[in-house]
A and B are shown apart, each in its own frame.
Chain A
Amino acid sequence: MTRAHEHGAAAQPEGTAPDAATTVARAAAHSRRAFLFKLSLALNGAVGAVLAVPILGYVLGPALKKNASYNAWVSLGPIADFPEGETRLVDYRNPVTMASDGATGNAACWVRHIEGRKFQVFAINCAHLGCPVRWFPQSKLFLCPCHGGAYYEDGARASGPPERGLFEYQYTVAGNHLLIEAGSLPTLATEACAKKKPLIQIAPQDAAADDANPARSS
């Protein structure tokens, strides 16, 4: 109340001239208040900085997490499902999903069974801008519907805007099952398999060793 009253008085210069003592007192009080105001700003700045930590951590969380950390080995089914010399579309459920993902938690990949235990597993996402490529066994080509990128049966770039071949997943054959390491959307930054993780729990050591993907290691 008093402060408001003082302000009101200060705003009316036509009132009676205040005597010297009050002016000095008011000026002293003013500089004290101005200092307190600056201090309160600094205090809020500090609180804001502290507050920014959890907010930024929350917002940037998905950006800071390593993509490879989402990856896990997913079974695509028994190898008997993949006739030798053929390339087939296989659906699987992404290893990391949430209840709200719905159908978007599904994923698909192209499995090419070369021979024996040799496979190639390609992402359906075009290496250009990510549209779903389709396999045409007659012309042995993957064609992209978006800008006409084309890839040969081994995933190598054939023509069109893509600058590289199809993304490939790491795979392994464990028992009679074909497994791939999947988990994040394949893009130029993530690729299909970010880093090769040794298969400890799932596959026996020797399987992991001789199934090292030939195309990747070349």
Chain B
Amino acid sequence: MDNPNQRKRPALKVFEWFDSRLGLARPLTEAAQHPTPERSASWWYVFGSAATVLLVLQVMTGILLALVYTPSAGEAWSSLQFLNHDVTLGWFLRAMHGWGSDFMIAIVLIHLVQVFLFGAYKFPRELTWIIGVFLLLLTLGMAFTGQVLRFDQDAYWGLGIGASIVSRFPLIGGPLVGLMLGGPIIGGPTLARFFALHVFVIPGILLVLVGLHVWMVLRLGINEWPMPGRIVSKASYAHEYHEETAKNGIPFVPDAAWKDAVFAAAILLSVMACALLLGPIGPTGQPDPTIIQTAPKPDFAFLWIYAVLAYLPPSLETPFIFIAPIVVIGGMLLLPLVAGEGEKHWSRRPVAVLMVAVIAVTLGTFTRLGTYTPWSPIMEAWSADTIPTKYLQDRSPLEREGALVLQNKQCRNCHALGGAGGMRGPALDNIAARMTEDQMIRQVLQGGGNMPAYGNALNPAETRALVSFLMTLRGKNLQPAVDSSRQLTTGSPEPLPAEQGDAATR
């Protein structure tokens, strides 16, 4: 040993100087080369490491953004504008951080689904899963607080929505709002709070838990490739796993790790591509509560919550908001404790597969709905969307007057005509084929369903004009709606609307 030592290159000498003091080289090498079940060196097992790489990217870009960003409610928005427009490549860093966060949520979710379907949460990896659930929540927490730091209109009103939700908490709702906002209004202390959460608190916890998560992966070994019929039992698993890795284990580095590295590089390149092509996310308008011309919307990852809140019946809303998260998170945390043994392979776990499918479709549908918010009135539709000319051709003056009433009274904000307008209420293109004149009058004046009553907003002349216009909207040669009860009592169909309809289609 001594002779070659004297001929060692200086770099090696430096290395040894450090390692004789740190003593890390051996444990690290051992950790890197820990035996991995051969089949687990798969492209399916690359998501966890990719999520870690993305976390590092987020920390780095985050620190760089903090060089310019000002966490003050009065200046945050303009400091983002400055980053976007005046700092060299500031827009690119912001874009990387924003898209990196979207990628991170996506990869963490894919990782979770993969671990779930491969049964990797079962004994002895229950705690790894439980910590993973917290990592998911923290990742979402980072996304939410990050969205607040992009202190624009959406962030402002998003905080308002958050405060409104919190205020519904029984008994302590008021104090909780104060705790969340740091004062009576959304303002300087609110942003400072979310800054502290986003920059210190959540990342601190996140890094510690990622450390534990990875430590446990190393300690317990990478999940073996699940096989149908191979049952996990607490009594024999450790022995079986040991045997398997001893027989056909391969060193993680380099035999398995190259796939992780390739995938991580691909993900980083994708983030860069998105940043380059799609640019930074926001900020939208200034966070000034006196500018009310806004339709706030949360970021992509939270669109489904936004959609669920829109569709819940009012009476269920408050219980749902507070009970559903407990049930969902509790269920995820308890999963490995109640199902810690048994089959790992997805083909023997139909319920698990079905659950993933149902949850994925549900989240996807709600997210999709959240992108175009059919429940929101379109506030400018009444003055921006014109009535299709075909609905005005060959119409009587009264009917045209009715079309004007329809525009002026903001009906279009909720009702579409010719594909333009709000989707909150039904489209009106063939309303006369579904409702009789009487029904329309009653619906317009008294409201009902999800429609406000217009009795106070319409005078009799306006109502008459409006309904006569609506009576012409029958789609393509559909029969006008008929009140069948009247038919029974008088023996003949209601004459007036039918005649009007004929005149209109001619």
Interface residues, chain A, with chain B CB atoms under 8 Å away: 59-60, 62-65, 67, 70, 89, 91, 94, 96-108, 124-125, 128-134, 136, 138-141, 143-148, 150, 152-153, 158-163, 183-185, 187-190
Contacts and interface: CB of A to CB of B under 8 A. Distances in A.
Given A64-B175, A184-B185, A143 B296 contact: no
Given A124-B289, A159-B447, A105 B185 contact: yes
A159 B443 CA distance: 13
B477 to A, nearest CB: 32
B309 A147 contact: yes
Contacts of A99: 74, 188
Contacts, number: 216
Interface stretch (B93-101, B159-167, B261-269, B360-368): B159-167
Which 3 pairs of residues, A with B, have the shortest CB-CB distance? A102-B74, A100-B188, A158-B452
26 contacts: A60-B175, A62-B178, A91-B290, A97-B187, A101-B185, A102-B73, A102-B75, A103-B74, A103-B287, A104-B186, A107-B289, A108-B290, A124-B289, A131-B157, A132-B292, A132-B294, A134-B292, A136-B382, A141-B452, A141-B457, A147-B376, A150-B452, A153-B456, A158-B447, A159-B450, A162-B314
B454 A139 contact: yes
A145 B187 contact: no
B454 A125 contact: no
Interface stretch (B61-69, B82-90, B391-399, B406-414): B406-414
Interface string B460-481: 0000000000000000000000
Contact of A129 (B161, B290, B447): B161
B74 A131 contact: no
A139 B447 CA distance: 13
B371 to A, nearest CB: 15
A138 B178 contact: no
Interface residues of B, number: 72
Contacts of A160: 450
A37 B439 CA distance: 84
Interface string B430-460: 0000000000000000010111111011000
A141 B424 CA distance: 15
Given A141-B457, A146-B295, A106 B452 contact: no
Contact of B185 (A104, A140, A161, A188): A104
Contacts of B164: 125, 128-130, 187-188
A77 to B, nearest CB: 14
B456 A152 contact: yes
Given A100-B192, A102-B72, A147-B309, A185 B376 contact: no
B161 A107 contact: no
A148 B375 contact: yes
Nearest to B414: A148
Contacts of A98: 183, 187-189
